[in-house]
Amino acid sequence: MEFGEAIKSLFSLLTSLDQPYLGVTPASSIEDSTPVEVEDELGECESLTTFSFLDSSSRMINVKGANIYFASLYANLVTENLMIPLMVEVPFMAIKASEEVRKLIEGDQTLSKIVAINNVNGEPYSPDYKDDNILDELRISLENYAISKSNFVTIVDGPIIPGPYIQMVGEPYRSAFISLANQRKKDKLIGIVKRLNYSRKLRRSELVKDPKLMNATDDVIVEYLGRGKDFYTTPVFREEVDIGGKNYTRYMVYVKVREGVFRVESLSKDLLCKGVYTAREYSSYRGIPEFIEVADRISKRLSASAFIFAFNIARVTTGVNYEDWESLRTAELDASE
């Protein structure tokens, strides 16, 4: 079934019931809190000649009787391009709804394969399940799927161990993120983290000695340390991460290329070095790797297209609310880029 037919089928199911809006749960911002230690200097190495790369995106529409979540993914796997939801191979939608709606989806042979009604551990997406968590879980699931299909070193837009700081997350979200993080194939994985304005790992490191930076976010610290340089890297940092009893040693380097600041991560110091120099070689005029910008742009277009398609159906079936109109404007901008 094509994604358009899947969305039509889902809204047809919802219009058979007369149920109220569920509302939207408030967003939460969780800060990184795991201590990091300086390991050694990065050194020099060759960049990667062949690699996969990917990014994902997600959106939500709030209609009568349900909150519906869409995730998209673009992955260049070297030998093929994977685009979800254009290629519907795994669940790219999730729904938070009443038990009645859930049972109807569960009983539909097609929708039950592409619409998630439970988290990875089988916990229902009930009306009080947090919206942000469903969006995160859906994106991570698609990324894990693409990473597992790659036969090459893979660079993901985001951390190699996905999800929030586990120690600050309550159930059932904690268990879901633990499962998704441990399911991820990490042996040939490099992560590039662009959004450092919520991360405060560096302020607790020995690298930061200026009192003015003691409460600064990572992007501010790296920009300060690399001021006046077109290319700057911090030493290699080591972070010990416990994910549900499984321990990982994550290595990371903060990088400044012209005006761009980002963090490169890997479980392998060799891959970490190659990731840094690959990011530098492919950096755009903004300093961010061009392949990351490409994956980001395509994945946003895909999720925007899914949202716009769903919105136009919802307008004449279940109805939409004010927030959906605002989200439509954002989606139209993303789709036109």
What sign for the dihedral angle of Cα 12, 17, 18, 21? negative
Three-state secondary-structure class, residue 110: coil
What would the two tokens of residue 96 be? 């938070």
Q: Is residue 328 within 8 Å of 307, Cβ to Cβ?
A: yes
Residue 154 corresponds to which amino acid?
A: T
CA distance 37 to 21: 48
The reported pTM is: 0.89
Helices (H), ranges, the chain: 3-15, 99-106, 111-114, 131-149, 173-183, 218-225, 269-281, 290-315, 322-336
What would the two tokens of residue 224 be? 């300060």
Please measure the distance between the N-terminal and C-terminal CA atoms of the chain and give it in whole angstroms.
Answer: 27
Q: Tell me, what DSSP letter sits at residue 204?
A: G
Each residue's pLDDT expressed in tens, for the chain with a length of 337 residues: 566 777 777 777 777 665 544 555 555 554 555 788 888 999 999 999 999 999 999 999 988 878 999 999 999 999 999 999 987 778 999 999 888 888 989 998 888 889 999 999 999 998 889 999 999 999 999 999 999 999 999 999 999 999 888 888 899 999 999 999 999 999 999 999 998 888 888 887 877 777 777 788 889 889 988 888 999 999 999 999 999 999 999 999 999 998 899 999 999 999 999 999 999 999 998 889 999 999 999 999 999 999 999 999 988 888 888 888 989 999 999 998 7
Q: Is residue 155 within 8 Å of 192, Cβ to Cβ?
A: yes
Over its C-alpha atoms, the chain yields an Rg (Å, rounded) of 21
pLDDT at 25: 55
What would the two tokens of residue 199 be? 């991360």
